[in-house]
Chain A
Amino acid sequence: MGVLLSVENVVGGYEFESLGKKIYVDAVSNVSISIDDNVVFGIAGESGCGKSTLLKIMYGYIISPLKVLRGNIKIFTSNDSYIDVLSISSELRRSRVWWKEISWIPQNAMNVLNPVEKIKDHFVEILTTHERIDKDDALKIATEYVESFGLSKSVLDAYPHQLSGGMRQRVVIALALLLKPKVVLADEPTSALDVVVQRGVLQILLNKQSELKNTVVLVSHDMGVHAMVTNKLAVMYAGKVVEIGRTEDIFEKPLHPYTKALIDSLPRIGDKTLRTGLAGSPPDLRNPPPGCRFHPRCPFAMDICRKEEPPMIEIEKNRFVSCWLYIRR
């Protein structure tokens, strides 16, 4: 097992003008993560903390007002060669990298299917533009292929709006996996679905992952989903990654105070005892607090937390945390 996708010191955010003022939203603020091959890697964190922005940058989908100021995204093709996602030309990215090496299921992807095209046209288009396959063969491939996602052939002749949310989401996942990319970025792929359909869709995603032995990066704000599905987990808060580890270790013993609060605030069926969330609300990323970005809400905040940003340290093998509580000074 080795590193497949490497996110290195990435700084990116949204730059625009509003009421004559220049504004920068510091959505991904110096993030480094290395992701192995053949894993389901989770990204957790609350609404607005930068999860989708990080995924867009990983995919190299940089459209104004999004800007990447610094950092690299590398997809390793062997031990010492890699694709530098952010610096290759956009033509190359489109023709050689997207769909084949890395694919992206955007948030609310159900609505990205073209409403005036039948489902089969979506499959045919990807197959004919990226592989040397003619239309008839493409259709044959698609027919067999969709059945492996538990969808009947008749789905191919339907328009997107004729399908339920769960079916559309399976179509979107099927499209993302069609050319067997090594990395699949899935942004909240099930958050609009009920839990039964969510469970079915995630099971299909997991089965395909173990079949293809590729890597799935799964963004979800639902900690329950991470506990059920991911092998490793990165927790984000206000544009920063604050903790990375094996999912079971994080649930067993969360290190960062934010992670701990997240896990402690989850109610369980069968338990009505009072739970409390963190006081306050997440910071405005146009003007994030100095020091540790969590300090205004952290029950353990110390002087240094208000002044200096805690570095990310590896405190045990495979356990990373960015918090002054774990740094002996």
Chain B
Amino acid sequence: MAMLLELKNVTKIFRYGFFGFSFKAVDNINISLEDKPFIFTLAGESGSGKTTLARIILGVHRPEYGSVLYKGKDIFKLSSSEMKWFKKEVQAVFQDPYAAFNPLRKVYGYLYDTAKNVAGLSRDEIDGYIDEVLRRVGLNLEKVVGKYPHEFSGGELQRVSIARALITKPRLIIADEPVSMLDASLRINIVNLFKELKDDLKISFIYITHDLSTAYYISDWIAIMYRGWVVEQGPVEKVLSEPLHPYTQTLLLSVPIPDIRLRNKWLSAIKLSATIEEKEFIAKGCKYAGRCPHAKDICFKSEPPTIAIGDVIVKCWLYQK
């Protein structure tokens, strides 16, 4: 099957702090996503490079090494007409909807501009089309016209930003922590909407989140990131039910569960790192070795291999035959 998105050995280097010390925020990542509707979750540590990876896929950051192919085309080598097409195909939704809109500008203006400039609709088509899109997200033109961002609740404004993303009839939406500001009840409505958009409009999603419960609930495929690496990826049922990588295992044990009987297990002590963590970004062996309960000698010395076990891919010495 043809691929929608392929990341090949993608590496992004940032310089950090005073000493100009540089580290790989995204370190040699390979991900291939087939061209069929999917929801792909990117989860993992804070600071592990999820947002950086999202920005690379959007073409905002240019990686130092590797390539990003969208429908077979290198997104950093697009002609200007291809660029126009790419901007229509791939849309983004961010964590804080209030930050995505200028507070002094009416929200409708954004929808109008996107419809006109990016989607290329003519003036008399626009309102009808915007209304149709807003209805998909449980709003309508009337509820939106004339209002400033602060006149919407967080959940509503997030739905407006999803509507804005939908205007260009995208094939892929990258949603970076789109629900982390919302309470459980609004959160489930938004992720249900993603599922619906995937089923009805055949839109694929890259869903970045810390919330593994909604990740399990909506996604097909998941990648777990740790310090710039993808340490495990595979079907969400497998990865979250039988995690292979020791970090994924700790991650799962740490999800706060709305069930008081599980409290003692959750409170069994874990240790956080005590020193400045950027050092782990440049560690020689496995970046998790310092904290891993299963670490062997080799883990401190050389980078673990990437091993396929069924349809799960794990980066860990434990699985080397």
Contact = CB atoms under 8 A, between A and B. Distances in A.
B183 A221 contact: yes
Contacts of B276: 154-155, 158, 162-164, 167
B270 A194 contact: no
A90 B45 CA distance: 41
Contact of B212 (A195, A200, A261, A278): A195
A284 B153 contact: yes
Given A197-B45, A272-B217, A262 B183 contact: yes
A108 to B, nearest CB: 11
B241 interface: yes
Given A164-B46, A165-B47, A269-B255, A277 B271 contact: no
Contact of A201 (B214, B258, B272): B272
Contacts of B273: 167
A159 B277 CA distance: 13
Contacts, number: 178
Contacts of B216: 267-272
A166 interface: yes
A67 B137 CA distance: 36
A152 B270 CA distance: 16
B258 A281 contact: no
Given A167-B277, A198-B256, A275 B188 contact: yes
Nearest to B210: A194
Nearest to A251: B260
B250 A196 contact: yes
Contacts of B183: 45-47, 221, 262
Contacts of A196: 45, 250-251, 254, 270
Nearest to B183: A46
Given A164-B47, A251-B260, A265-B188, A150 B252 contact: no
A34 interface: no
B188 A225 contact: no
A192 B275 contact: no
A253 B101 CA distance: 40
Given A270-B216, A272-B216, A282-B153, A225 B256 contact: yes
B204 to A, nearest CB: 18
A224 B46 contact: no
B274 A194 contact: no
A192 B47 CA distance: 11
Given A265-B184, A277-B189, A170 B258 contact: no
A94 interface: no
Given A164-B47, A192-B46, A224-B257, A197 B184 contact: no
B240 interface: yes
A319 interface: no
Contact of B217 (A155, A167, A261, A275): A275
A155 to B, nearest CB: 7
Contacts of A221: 182-184
B46 A266 contact: no
Contact of A170 (B47, B240, B272): B272
A22 B153 CA distance: 20
A224 B212 CA distance: 12
B269 interface: yes
B192 interface: yes
Contacts of A166: 46, 272
Contacts of A178: none
Contacts of B274: 150-152, 155
B187 interface: yes
B154 A224 contact: no
A46 B267 contact: no
A198 B255 CA distance: 9
B269 A203 contact: yes
Contact of B251 (A47, A195, A265): A195
A206 B212 contact: no
Given A161-B17, A270-B216, A224 B269 contact: no
Contact of A223 (B151, B154, B184): B184
Interface in A250-270: 251-252, 261-263, 265-270
A179 interface: no
A47 B181 contact: yes
A57 B222 CA distance: 42
Contacts of B192: 274-277
B117 interface: no
B99 to A, nearest CB: 13
A309 interface: no
A191 interface: yes
Contact of B185 (A194, A195, A262): A262
Interface string A225-263: 111110000000000000000011001100000000111
A276 B192 CA distance: 8
A151 B266 CA distance: 21
A8 interface: no
A257 to B, nearest CB: 11
Contacts of A152: 274-275
B297 interface: no
Q: Give the top 4 A-B pairs by smallest Cβ distance, nearest first.
A: A46-B183, A224-B256, A277-B185, A200-B272
Interface of A: 45-48, 150-152, 154-155, 158-159, 161-167, 170, 191-201, 203, 206, 221-229, 247-248, 251-252, 261-263, 265-272, 274-278, 281-282, 284
27 contacts: A47-B153, A48-B154, A150-B274, A155-B275, A161-B17, A164-B46, A164-B276, A165-B47, A167-B273, A192-B46, A196-B250, A197-B46, A198-B256, A221-B184, A224-B258, A225-B256, A227-B256, A227-B259, A262-B184, A266-B188, A266-B258, A271-B217, A277-B184, A277-B185, A277-B188, A278-B186, A281-B186
